[in-house]
Each structure stands twice: as structure tokens, then as C-alpha cells.
Structure 1
Amino acid sequence: MGSPDLKRTRSATDKPTKERIYVRTLAPSDLEACVALEEAAFIPSERCPRETFSYRLKVCPELCFGIFTIRRNKEYLLGHAIATKTLSPSVTESSMAVSTPRHFPHNPAGPTIALHSLAIQPAYQGRYLGTTLLQEYIQRMSMGGCVQRIALIARNRLVGFYGRFGFRCKGVSPIKFGGGEWMDLVLEI
């Protein structure tokens, strides 16, 4: 794990304190916090459904990370990166689908990580938490040689942000989720 970011905050006695920010793997017990974050960060048509979060956190928690802080002995989710593995070199409608008895969107043998959601609480956006989380995510996923790439879809306005981490824009995605108009982005590892 990278070194935590430390921020100056004020305590109840108005003395400066340090807020510890850290990244850890998510677990099924983080479901409610992830759903609440998704609701705060995305418009309704772009939100991941609760049952999809539940599936991803149960079957592939090793691909799902959160960035947290602790205040008054309580942990708070500030952002998350939620993913599955796929055989495709890019994110597909199938990799994003809800699990059914006949369809399992996560394929553990897949060489591609499909990063479905990178979200930061709106009140914490602009504080480099997305940068910290994505850097940590890429570093951890690059270790071990189990994957060849990380793929995601993003709105055109975010292509530059992901480009700073080495993601290459492959053009307009055929995915129609949330009204379409997504760009395919891929980071080769």
C-alpha cells in the first residue's frame, strides 16, 4: 500500500489533527456504503444497481477497493473502484450485466479488468482522492502478472484524466448503458 495522505482538519477543541486516508480491499460488508456513494456520485441512469454491487463484492472483492478515513473511531468510505474480470479486451454490456443463474459477468480467467465504477464522494472531489485511489489500484493490479490490461468506459470529459495514468482512448464505445456516448479506454499492463 502506498503512503497515506494526511490532511489537516480541526478537532472539537479547534486544535489541528491529522486525518488518515487509506486504501483497502472492499468486502460484502461494505455494500451499503458503496451503494450510498454511487447514489451521491452518479445520476440515476449511470448508477450501478444494488444487486450488481452485491455480486461484485461477493465474487471478486480482490478487484474492488475503497479509499477511507476514520473519524471518531468510525470508518467512512470516501471513494471506490469496483471491477470484474472479462475475456474481452474492453468493457462490454455483458461484463456490466447483472448476474443471473445463466450469466456470470465476472470471469476469473479473464485477462482484462473491467473497471466499472471509480467514484469519489462529491464533497471530497477535487482533493486528489480519485488520483490516489486510481494510482493505488493500478499499482496493485499490475503486481503478480495476472492481467494484461485495465479497461473502462468514461464520458469524453474524463478522457484526459484517465490519459494521465496511461489509459489510451480506443474511440466511442458501443455500450448504451446510461444513454451511451461513452469512450472506450484501455491501460495495457
Structure 2
Amino acid sequence: MQNINIKTHIKIIQASPADLDAVTAVEAVCFPAAEAAGRQSFAHRLAAFPESFFLAVHNGQIIGFINGCVTNETTIRDEMYEDSSLHDPKGAYQSIFGLDVLPEYRNCGIAALLMEHMIGDARAKGRRGLILTCKDRLIHYYEKFGYKNMGVSASVHGGAVWYDMLLEFEDQKS
């Protein structure tokens, strides 16, 4: 995809259960099978926390998304990926389970748009910050948004080595 300022043609919208098949398909392209969330997991997420599930849409097509539950924990536990009952709508931290962008739309700023939207939404809702896990090659990317590397995560999701990342809003610490 050529970067002809594609960002001006992207809409960020809240996901709904009707988007289940599309987000499942995007995830299957973006993550290895061992790490990808499945259709049932997305169905539970869309039902439990649609307010924390945003889509990047270009010409009516879902080209990426960001999602995660809200929690009072400062790290993501593996159980959170599959157990939507761990979502606490009044929690202090917005987690990020996945930031997906189709390969042909990468390096155009779409992931940054999604991340900035999620950060802004979390701030507007009075959260203390956001949490995520990432592989070592992405630590630098997330640090650009203000995340701090908290070290190797206890997560063994998909058999990979993950790093806990924490972004805290200075003005919302208690």
C-alpha cells in the first residue's frame, strides 16, 4: 500500500459483534497461529468490552484494530486473553491485547492512529494508564508513546518471550 497520506482516509470506530468475522480474519493474518486469538475469544471480547475495541476502517474495509480489557492490574496475565469476566469496566488500567494492521497497510501510521486513539480514550475515561506485552523488537516502538519497559513478562502466551510495558498518566496517579 502506497503511503499517499492514507491516514486521512482512515476512520477509527468502535467495534460491534457484527465485526466478528472480519476481526478474526485480520488477526489470523497478523499473528502466528499459536498467538492469534480465535473467533470464540473475539466473540467474548466484543460482548464484554466493545467500548475498548476499536477498528481502523478504509473504504469500508477493516484494515486493523486494537482491543483489550480494563483491569486494576499493572501487567497482563495469560488468563485475561481468554477469560472476559476478568474485565473490570471501572478498572484503573486499559490493557492492550492486540494491535493488528493488515500487512499491506503497515508503515503508513495506522498502528499509531489506533494506539493514540486508545490512549486518548483511556485518558478521557479517567484511567491511570495502559498496559501491554510485546516482543523485544517492539519495545522501542511502544516507548515512543510513553510506555516504560517493566522487564520480561510472566506471560508465556503462544510460547513467546514477552515484555511488560506500562504507560502511566502522570496527572491521574493517585
The two structures have a TM-score, normalised by structure 1, of: 0.83
Answering whether residue 154 of structure 2 is matched by residue 174 of structure 1, we say: yes
Give the Cα–Cα distance (whole angstroms) in 1 for the partners of residues 28 and 35 of structure 2.
9
- Secondary structure of the residue aligned to 2:9 is strand
Decide whether the 8 Å contact of 1:153 with 1:173 is kept in 2: yes
Decide whether the 8 Å contact of 1:86 with 1:95 is kept in 2: no
**Larger Rg: 1 or 2?**
1
- Structure (1 or 2) with the greater strand fraction: 1
- Which structure would you say has the larger RCO, counting Cα contacts within 8 Å and 6 or more residues apart? 2
For 2:36, the aligned partner's letter is R
Answering whether residue 168 of structure 2 is matched by residue 188 of structure 1, we say: yes
1:78 corresponds in structure 2 to 63
1:143 corresponds in structure 2 to 124
For 2:70, the aligned partner's letter is K
Give the Cα–Cα distance (whole angstroms) in 2 for the partners of residues 92 and 47 of structure 1.
16
2:172 corresponds in structure 1 to none
Cα offset for 1:164?
0.2
Change (3 A) 1:87 1:144: closer
Give structure 1 regions of 4+ aligned residues with deviation exceeding 4 angstroms. none
Change (3 A) 1:109 1:19: closer
Change (3 A) 1:8 1:166: closer
Structure 1: 5+ residue runs without aligned partners? 1-5, 10-17
- Secondary structure of the residue aligned to 2:96 is strand
Over the matched positions of the two proteins, sequence identity in percent amounts to 26
* 1:68 maps to which of 29, 43, 57: 57
Answering whether residue 21 of structure 2 is matched by residue 32 of structure 1, we say: yes
Decide whether the 8 Å contact of 1:7 with 1:20 is kept in 2: no
The Cα offsets for residues 140-172 of structure 1, whole Å up to 9 and x where unpaired, read as 221131x11110000000000000000000000
1:14 corresponds in structure 2 to none
Indicate the RMSD between aligned Cα atoms, in angstroms.
Answer: 1.9
The two structures have a TM-score, normalised by structure 2, of: 0.89
Structure 2: 5+ residue runs without aligned partners? 170-174
* 1:115 maps to which of 82, 92, 96: 96
